[in-house]
Amino acid sequence: HCKEYGFIFQSSEIYDGLGAVYDYGQYGAELKRNIREYWWRSMTQMHDNIVGIDAAIFMHPTVWKASGHVDNFSDPMIDNKDSKKRYRVDHLIEGFAETLEKEKGDALLQQMDALLAANDFAGLKQLIDDNKMKCAVSGTCNWTDVRQFNLMFSTEMGSVADDANVVYLRPETAQGIFVNFLNVQKSGRMKIPFGIAQTGKAFRNEIVARGFIFRMREFEQMEMQFFVRPGTQKEWYEKWKETRMKWHLSLGISPDHYRFHDHVKLAHYADAACDIEYDFPMGFKEVEGIHSRTDFDLKQHQQFSGKKLTYFDTEINQHYIPYVIETSIGLDRAVMMILSEAYEEQDLSTAEKQDSRVVLKLPAMLAPFKLAVLPLLKKDGLPEIARELMDQCRPHFRCFYEEKDTIGKRYRRMDAIGTPFCVTIDHQTKEDGTVTIRYRDEMTQERIPLSSVK
Ligand code: GAP
């Protein structure tokens, strides 16, 4: 559907594509932009104490040393010696656990979580061997040892290719916020607690990249770092969990389709962390992470840069390095979530005729187009009236104009891209100044004055 209707295309498709990289088409780009805008407004416009920035993708290489990404941003991997296929160890074990009875599978996952938390690679290998887990390609259990694999992409800056010039494509947008913490705080005269939000591209050399736009090598994040007084982080962590869940529910998605998942293995920077998971067609999976990142990042940047990154809290007369609560949602995953929720195949057959439609029940605020303006015929002055309505509405919201095909076909095309309202201009419009408005979800129609369409 995404390809057929111009939402998402495989990158470089005419060259057989590039693994786990995707392009957004004409409707996908609008949908993605609307989600981004909604997030941006809810973070910045709706909060006195959150501002947004736009940091560069390239950053000084020491940033990634300080953040721990050079040393720690890796996944334990294992290769099958016969097929040469490489697996993320957790994915291999999770896949195997799914083939077991629920109780046995859960016990296995618990064992895996404990071994991952302890970075016990020999133990993980043993677990794979003991359970005789097989490679899906070769069907054998002939495994290498478990090894770490760094996920950052690197490139060179400047003309001389030596180590000093290596720069990384950022694997998260968060660090652009941390290194600008004092710039924003001072120039914006921000008082703690306050937040800095940012949206932008991130890059990870994911080994097992699958699941369409769920796990990509180039993707977009929407992150917010909220700086708080040390000791208050637990309270803010809970508050942000609640606030973010409310945001999700405001998209009109049923609460049954969401759940929180607390992390067992905490990232190197966190003292508490959870995911908001959505019930995708392939099961519950993470869309957003909420992390209590302590003062880890600012402390590290202070140490590696040699620049003071403390804040003077006038209320308690103290200098300190703030603690941070982070909310981090993948924009592409949010697109996939919204599409999964909205997509519906409906059988509309009656005794007289077979009929069906595919409809995207997108929230109107996120739909690529809000209104389709459809003159019934290409003549009799109907297109002129339709064009006038377009001119009236298009400065305010995205409108679609179409005069080809039967009205039924045009409605179906609008259903498939999620346009909530279609307005048809017909001969009666010329007589009494009314139009037919058709509602996407119920497919009901009514006549309203042309002048009230906007
Ligand atoms: N700054 C914290 C951070 O980056 P993360 O849990 O690694 O945390 C946050 O990523 C969010 O970014 C995830 O919840 C997910 O929605 C999205 N994300 C991460 N890796 C992704 C990938 N390879 N493709 C698409 N989205 C991804």
Atom 2, ligand 1: residue with shortest CA distance: 328
Q: How far is the CA of 317 from the centre of ligand 1 (A)?
A: 37
Residue 241 to residue 358: CA distance in whole angstroms? 34
To the nearest 10°, the Cα dihedral for 224, 226, 227, 229? -160
* Closest atom, ligand 1, to C-alpha of 209: 23
What's the pLDDT tens digit per position in 183-225?
999 999 999 999 999 999 999 998 766 789 999 999 999 999 9
Q: Give me the chain's average pLDDT, please.
A: 95
Which residues, other chains included, contact 132 with Cβ-Cβ below 8 Å and sequence gap of 6+? 141
pTM equals 0.90
What's the pLDDT tens digit per position in 54-105?
999 999 999 999 999 998 888 899 999 999 998 989 989 999 999 999 999 9
Atom 9, ligand 1: residue with shortest CA distance: 328
Which residues, other chains included, contact 37 with Cβ-Cβ below 8 Å and sequence gap of 6+? none
> So what's the pLDDT on residue 286?
97
Tell me the Cα Rg of the chain.
Answer: 26
Residue 12 to residue 3: CA distance in whole angstroms? 13
Q: What is the mean pLDDT of residues 130-137?
A: 95
Q: Kindly list the protein residues whose Cβ atom lies closer than 6 A to any atom of ligand 1.
A: 172, 174, 204, 206, 215-216, 219, 221, 223, 286-289, 326, 328-330, 332-333
* Closest atom, ligand 1, to C-alpha of 288: 14
Q: Which residue has the tokens 């895996």?
A: 112
| pLDDT value at 26 more than 80 | yes
Atom 18, ligand 1: residue with shortest CA distance: 330
Residue 427 to residue 227: CA distance in whole angstroms? 61
Residue 179 to residue 181: CA distance in whole angstroms? 6
* Closest atom, ligand 1, to C-alpha of 330: 16
Confidence class for position 161, pLDDT limits 50, 70, 90: low
What's the pLDDT tens digit per position in 305-322?
999 999 999 999 999 999
Q: Which two tokens stand for residue 413?
A: 């095309």
Which of 110-124, 166-180, 286-300 bottoms out in mean pLDDT, i.e. has the lowest? 110-124
Q: Which residue has the tokens 């490679």?
A: 135
Q: How far is the CA of 173 from the centre of ligand 1 (A)?
A: 10
What's the pLDDT tens digit per position in 431-451?
999 999 999 999 999 999 999
- For residue 209, the Cα-to-chain-centroid distance in whole angstroms is 15
> So what's the pLDDT on residue 247?
98
What's the pLDDT tens digit per position in 328-343?
999 999 999 999 999 9
> So what's the pLDDT on residue 285?
96
Q: C-alpha distances in angstroms, 318 versus 296, 310, 312, 314?
A: 19, 10, 6, 7
Q: How far is the CA of 245 from the centre of ligand 1 (A)?
A: 17
Q: How far is the CA of 331 from the centre of ligand 1 (A)?
A: 9
Confidence class for position 371, pLDDT limits 50, 70, 90: very high
* Closest atom, ligand 1, to C-alpha of 217: 23
